[in-house]
């Protein structure tokens, strides 16, 4: 084991030494890949709506009915499978349910989803409700049938956008705000 660790440690030195002895025309330019820091894992999801705040744990999310979505990740150029509760079901836990009586509230609501790295995105209330939209927005806790450790344990994934720009890795909070018309 120590030999393997030593070999991994010395590999860049050996590669550098090799390229220094090569003729200049055979040296390939070394390009550093920009390293993106991993998203800190989210341990729970904080929800706020209408003056109420609740926290859902991973266990709470696992115990909710799950939906599986198949999406294309334009960043990684791969097809991916995620599972977790619909965002509409998660929002129902804090009191935002889609009924004929609440349609006006949903149509005038905005949702701000924020990750542990402070990246945030906006959704309209209607686009996360199945009775208003054909796209699905889920709170993903599984990726390819395994816990989603790559995306910070909890992610927000949607099927409607052509790019994953409004996916949130390490989903930490969801704030719902209802806008009233000015008179």
Tokens of 91: 């929002």
pLDDT tens for each residue of the chain, 183 residues long:
333 333 333 344 344 444 444 455 544 454 554 556 778 889 899 999 999 999 999 999 999 999 999 999 998 899 999 999 999 999 999 999 888 888 888 999 999 999 999 999 999 999 999 889 999 999 999 999 888 777 788 999 999 998 899 999 999 999 999 988 777
Helix H or strand E encompassing 87: helix 87-92
Question: Going from the N-terminus, what domains does the chain have, and what CATH number goes with each?
Answer: 44-178 (3.90.420.10)
Measuring CA to CA, which residue among 174, 146, 141, 172 is closest to residue 39? Answer: 172
- CB atoms near residue 11 (< 10 Å): 10
């Amino acid at each position: 084991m120590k030999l393997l660790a030593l070999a991994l440690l010395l590999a860049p030195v050996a590669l550098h030494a090799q390229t220094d002895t090569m003729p200049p025309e055979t040296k390939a330019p070394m390009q550093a890949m920009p390293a993106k820091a991993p998203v800190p894992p989210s341990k729970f999801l904080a929800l706020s709506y209408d003056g109420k705040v609740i926290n859902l744990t991973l266990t709470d999310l696992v115990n909710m009915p799950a939906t599986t979505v198949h999406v294309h990740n334009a960043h990684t150029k791969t097809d991916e499978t995620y599972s977790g509760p619909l965002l509409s079901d998660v929002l129902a836990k804090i009191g935002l349910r889609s009924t004929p009586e609440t349609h006006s509230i949903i149509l005038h609501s905005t949702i701000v989803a924020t990750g542990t790295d402070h990246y945030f995105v906006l959704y309209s209330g209607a686009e996360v409700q199945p009775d208003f939209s054909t796209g699905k927005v889920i709170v993903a806790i599984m990726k390819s049938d395994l816990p989603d450790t790559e995306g910070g344990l909890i992610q927000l994934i949607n099927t409607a956008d052509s790019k994953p720009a409004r996916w949130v890795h390490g989903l930490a909070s969801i704030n719902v705000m209802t806008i009233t018309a000015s008179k």
